[in-house]
């Protein structure tokens, strides 16, 4: 195969083009944006090519025609006007407090003030930005292009700390001149992971066009199936050879691992570009997105908000408003989960305008569950892999006692981050998590005609129906006989409920062995008290 250079981690468009890296041409969309509007916002998960997109825009507006030779925009653009470009990026540092944020603002502004020979008379960031935009326009005779990358990072870095509100207020002030400077601005493009409500950047710029869910721009970041075949056929063939798979099998595996993102309904899905390129470079299927780190704000959110697993792992029905905007004052986790890239649009019902959100692919599903598992159970992480394998073997061998013994040891005590009044949901969630990590099909809160079963696990040969019950604190200290009788009643009631509600009836046609299991948990956070198998 002819030597080809994959742009793994390359975020500068000029560097990419001059060094001959492969480039999936998105320039027609850049031209469309430039011609049809002025202020835009785009939300996309990390590692999705937002920075490269802004860099492409930067060199286009700087009039660097030679960098676009052979690309779509070369045929579309006739004028190639050079505009003054102000690029603001918060992606290069961390902002745990206000001092770090102000320092970065000062560095960004100082560089441009030096370039345009501006004397600073007001030390505040907002007046300096306003003066910079006005001066750049007046000195060049052309309107200014403003590109803002990771506008929300200083807020997400300080999430759930005393500095979160301080950083939000500082950024609200910093971005405020953008509205007043409209006549000086030719083009404004803002990217981030989240669209945070209560930000002046959105309330002040009434005409800001949020294209995050727009069909026309659903593939502006990421790689579509057609782009994959058009640009990476040699890499697919090399990967197939290395993995001893057919080309078709390789394509199916790539789709299973890295495809499935939909940023609008009824559009072609896109692959995560970072993971795809890493897979081609090393010719190995792996969880590259999670190797590059887990967003700290996601972990903070999981730790600080009530956690209901069933809302995320079986497909979540939601309206656009429920997952589009993140409100720091709300307890709604869905925008953070969706905008982080852990959930994506899988279906849309036009009549009700309900979206179905679910994991985009296998890599994200496993990674998300792994993040949860590390945060919500007490078994040390280095033992998780072994325990999950043992759990899988136990289910495969129909050894329910062994399976529940493994889970019992993992949740022996309620973690400090889980409140006592949440322990019922916690136990069901973690039980589901551990079963889900085995790779077997797992359903939680499965609806039947008469009721809802708690957890159902399906292997190749068996169906396991688990009804989870709490002891409701009825056990009495020191009275073992009474406690034993109470536990027996709880477990018997659980098995009766499985039969009475017909939980197993929908599976009878499968021909698989049916296991009905009642499990009792402690309402005082002491884990599994016992179980009974039918």
pLDDT tens for each residue of 110-119: 999 999 999 9
How confident is the model over 440-459, as pLDDT tens digits? 888 765 443 334 457 889 99
Higher pLDDT, residue 114 or 320? 114
Domains in the chain (CATH in brackets) are 13-217 (3.40.50), 223-291 (no CATH), 296-358 (no CATH), 383-533 (3.40.1350)
Matching residue, tokens 């889970």: 407
Residues in the chain, overall count: 534
- Structure confidence at residue 451 (pLDDT): 40
Split at pLDDT 50, 70, 90, the class of 217 is very high
- Whether 475 shows a pLDDT value over 80: the answer reads no
User: What is the pLDDT, as a whole number, of residue 293?
Assistant: 63
Q: Is the CB of residue 176 less than 8 Å from the CB of residue 124?
A: no
In this predicted structure, the answer to whether residue 511 has a pLDDT above a threshold of 60 is yes
What is the C-alpha separation between 181 and 169, in angstroms, rounded?
20
Among 42-46, 280-284, 505-509, name the most confident range: 280-284
- At 353 the three-state DSSP class reads coil
pLDDT band at 277 (very low <50, low <70, confident <90, very high): very high
Helices 27-36 and 50-61, packing angle to 10 deg = 60
Q: For residue 242, which phi and psi values (nearest 5 degrees)?
A: -65, -40
In 244-286, alpha helices (H): 247-258, 273-282
Per-residue pLDDT at 434: 83
5-19, 111-125, 390-404, 504-518: which range is least confident on average?
504-518
Q: Which of 169-183, 380-394, 457-471 has the lowest mean pLDDT?
A: 380-394
Six token digits for residue 238:
């090399």
- Phi–psi pair at 174, nearest 5 degrees: -60, -40
Q: Which residue has the higher pLDDT, 201 or 189?
A: 189
Mean pLDDT of the chain: 85
Which whole number is the average pLDDT over 273-289?
Answer: 93
Considering only residues 86 and 121, tell me which one the structure prediction assigns the higher pLDDT. 86
SS3 174: helix
Q: How far apart are CA 228 and CA 251, in angstroms?
A: 10
* Segment 164-193 mean pLDDT: 91
d(CA 128, CA 111): 12
């Amino acid at each position: 195969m002819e030597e080809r250079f994959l742009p793994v981690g390359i975020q500068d468009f000029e560097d990419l083009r001059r060094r001959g890296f492969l480039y999936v041409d998105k320039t027609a969309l850049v031209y469309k944006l430039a011609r049809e509007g002025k202020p835009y916002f785009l939300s996309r998960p990390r590692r999705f090519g937002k920075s490269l997109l802004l860099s492409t825009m930067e060199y286009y507006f700087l009039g660097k025609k030679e960098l676009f030779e052979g690309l779509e925009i070369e045929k579309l653009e006739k004028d190639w006007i050079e505009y003054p470009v102000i690029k603001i990026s918060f992606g290069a540092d961390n902002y745990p407090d206000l001092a770090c944020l102000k320092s970065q603002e000062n560095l960004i502004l100082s560089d441009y003030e030096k370039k345009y020979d501006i004397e600073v008379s007001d030390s505040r960031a907002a007046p300096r930005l306003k003066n910079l935009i006005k001066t750049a326009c007046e000195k060049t005779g052309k309107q200014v292009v403003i590109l803002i990358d990771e506008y929300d990072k200083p807020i997400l870095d300080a999430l759930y700390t005393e500095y979160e509100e301080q950083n939000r207020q500082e950024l609200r002030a910093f971005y405020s001149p953008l509205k007043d400077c409209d006549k000086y601005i030719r083009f404004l493009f803002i990217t981030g992971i989240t669209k945070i409500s209560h930000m002046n950047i959105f309330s002040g710029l009434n005409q800001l066009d949020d294209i995050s869910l727009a069909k026309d721009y659903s593939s502006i970041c990421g790689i579509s199936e057609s782009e994959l075949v058009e640009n990476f056929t040699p890499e697919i063939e090399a990967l197939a050879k290395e993995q001893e798979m057919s080309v078709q099998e390789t394509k199916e595996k790539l789709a299973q691992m890295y495809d499935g993102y939909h940023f609008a309904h009824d559009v072609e899905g896109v692959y995560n570009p970072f993971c795809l390129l890493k897979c081609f470079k090393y010719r190995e299927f792996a969880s590259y997105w999670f190797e590059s780190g887990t967003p700290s704000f996601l972990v903070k959110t999981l730790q600080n908000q009530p956690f209901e697993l069933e809302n995320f792992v079986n497909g979540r029905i939601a309206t656009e408003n429920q997952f589009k905007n993140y409100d720091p004052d709300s307890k709604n986790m869905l925008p953070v989960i969706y905008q982080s890239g852990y959930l994506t649009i899988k279906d849309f019902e036009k009549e009700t305008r309900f979206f179905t959100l679910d994991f985009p692919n296998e890599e994200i599903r496993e990674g998300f569950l792994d993040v949860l598992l590390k945060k919500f159970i007490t078994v040390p992480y280095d033992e998780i892999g072994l325990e999950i394998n043992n759990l899988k073997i136990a289910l495969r061998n129909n050894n329910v006692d062994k399976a529940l013994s493994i889970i019992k040891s993992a949740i022996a005590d309620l973690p400090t981050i889980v409140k006592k009044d949440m322990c019922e949901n916690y136990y069901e969630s973690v039980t589901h998590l551990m079963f889900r990590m085995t790779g077997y099909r797992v359903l939680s809160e499965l609806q039947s005609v008469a009721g809802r079963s708690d957890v159902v696990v399906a292997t190749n040969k068996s169906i396991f129906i688990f009804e989870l019950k709490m002891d409701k604190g009825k056990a009495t200290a020191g009275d073992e006989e009474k406690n034993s009788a109470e536990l027996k009643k709880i477990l018997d009631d659980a098995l009766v409920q499985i039969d009475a509600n017909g939980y197993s009836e929908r599976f009878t046609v499968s021909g698989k062995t049916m296991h009905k299991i009642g499990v009792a948990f402690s309402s005082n956070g002491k884990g599994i008290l016992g179980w009974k198998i039918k």
